[in-house]
Chains A and B, each alone.
Chain A
Amino acid sequence: MANEDPIAAAALIVAGLKKAGIDFVATLPDEKMLEVIRAVEKDRELKHVPLCREEEGIGICAGAYLAGKKTAIFMQNAGFLNSCNALTTTSLQLQIPILMLIYYAGDIGDRGFTTLGAVTEPVLHALGFRSYVLRKQEEIDETLRGAQILADDSKKPVAVLLTKSVLGVD
């Protein structure tokens, strides 16, 4: 049974990030990720960089990676589409890993954003990114840790799509 408390869910996700070794997090909010971003901001072990547009965050995280940080970025899938050039010509071109935590608007059962939902996974696959849809809170630690290992070893972005059930929101 999923925990329907978004604050508790946010705590699980932030704990999972830290267990995966992440120490540098850029964010641009979707309402569904509000509590996660608040938890990132509060956590003293995570460097938090709030963004104005997702694509610049790919650049900021690339710079931080080169300097030894383990980076993650929170964004909605519209922001992922906004970032495709940087992901291609910086992340892929220079072989720079990043853990992408993407709120899956337009996911099955989600009203509105169905067009966005429909193109999200095909675009991830077109870029050659491994991607995982995270639906169960009990799989947070394993998925974030596994995705971070994949990103670090393949030196490529890896995407984890966050759903309402894992975020504890309606």
Chain B
Amino acid sequence: MQRYEYLKLIAADAKDALCVSTGWGSREWWAVRPSDGNLKTRTLGLVSSIAAGLAIALPRRKVIAIDGDGAFLMNLCGLPTIAQQNPGNLIHLLFDNEIYEASGGTATASRNSDAVAIAKGAGYKRALWVRSPEEFRGAFVKAWEENELTLIAVKVDPGQPEDLPPLKLDEIENKYRFMRYLEATEKKGILNPGFDSKL
């Protein structure tokens, strides 16, 4: 089962959560939950840290990180930092296809390591492997309802559905729309109104 199929399962449950993604995961997530609350990132590994920054800054807002095994392994040192802050509003999803999918398909080291053990060792109180669509959705809903920092890891097949629509969004446009969406939904000013506003 591919990541896209798992993402479809939780699209409705994600409600107004902020969602940080990278690579193919972005295009897939936008297809299943189009929203200005989605943020696409580019730095391999940084999805979990950016999502954690949002979650720490907005403790009453749900934040979802859509991580991959290559990115997860690149930012292992970010995990104890997140665990130490322990944002209960952060749901960390790890889709492990055992390859660097966006970089041509070379194997990652995930097949000889255990992301859940790593996360627990880093201090995540909740981290689990799920092995079926039902377990995946159940773990997501539990993490949401109980408001506990959770890593939900699942092995997935590489690849995307053939009819996956393209993501037509400039990344700066994405950032501004994301910030305006947060201003509207959190009911506060975020962007500096700028020098010109004083003229």
Contact = CB atoms under 8 A, between A and B. Distances in A.
Interface of A: 24, 47, 49-53, 55-69, 85-86, 89-90, 93-96, 152-153
Given A56-B75, A86-B46, A94-B41, 14 more contacts: A49-B56, A59-B43, A60-B50, A63-B20, A63-B49, A63-B53, A64-B57, A66-B53, A67-B53, A68-B186, A90-B41, A93-B42, A94-B175, A95-B172
B174 to A, nearest CB: 8
12 contacts: A55-B46, A56-B75, A56-B78, A59-B48, A59-B49, A60-B49, A61-B53, A63-B20, A66-B182, A67-B58, A67-B190, A90-B43
B149 interface: no
Contacts of B20: 63
Nearest to B63: A63
Contacts of B195: 153
A109 B90 CA distance: 46
B51 interface: yes
A57 B190 CA distance: 20
A52 B84 CA distance: 11
Contacts of B52: 59-60, 63
B175 A63 contact: no
Nearest to A97: B192
Given A62-B53, A69-B57, A86 B188 contact: no
Please give me the 4 A-B residue pairs with the lowest Cβ-Cβ distance, nearest first.
Answer: A63-B53, A59-B49, A67-B57, A56-B78
A96 B176 CA distance: 11
A57 B45 CA distance: 12
Nearest to B191: A68
A24 B50 contact: no
A17 to B, nearest CB: 17
B106 interface: no
Interface in B18-34: 20
B133 interface: no
Given A64-B54, A90-B41, A59 B46 contact: yes
Contacts of A55: 45-46
Which of the listed residues B46, B49, B75, B182 has the most CB atoms from chain A within 10 Å of its own CB? B49
Contact of B81 (A50, A66, A96): A50
B53 A64 contact: yes
A52 B182 contact: no
Nearest to A53: B77
Given A59-B78, A94-B171, A94-B172, A66 B39 contact: yes
A52 B175 contact: no
A161 to B, nearest CB: 24
A60 B43 contact: no
Interface in B161-199: 171-172, 175, 178-179, 182, 186, 188-190, 192, 194-195
A58 B47 CA distance: 11
Contacts of B43: 59, 85-86, 89-90
B163 to A, nearest CB: 29
Which of the listed residues A65, A68, A152 has the most CB atoms from chain B within 10 Å of its own CB? A68
A153 B171 contact: no
A152 B191 CA distance: 9
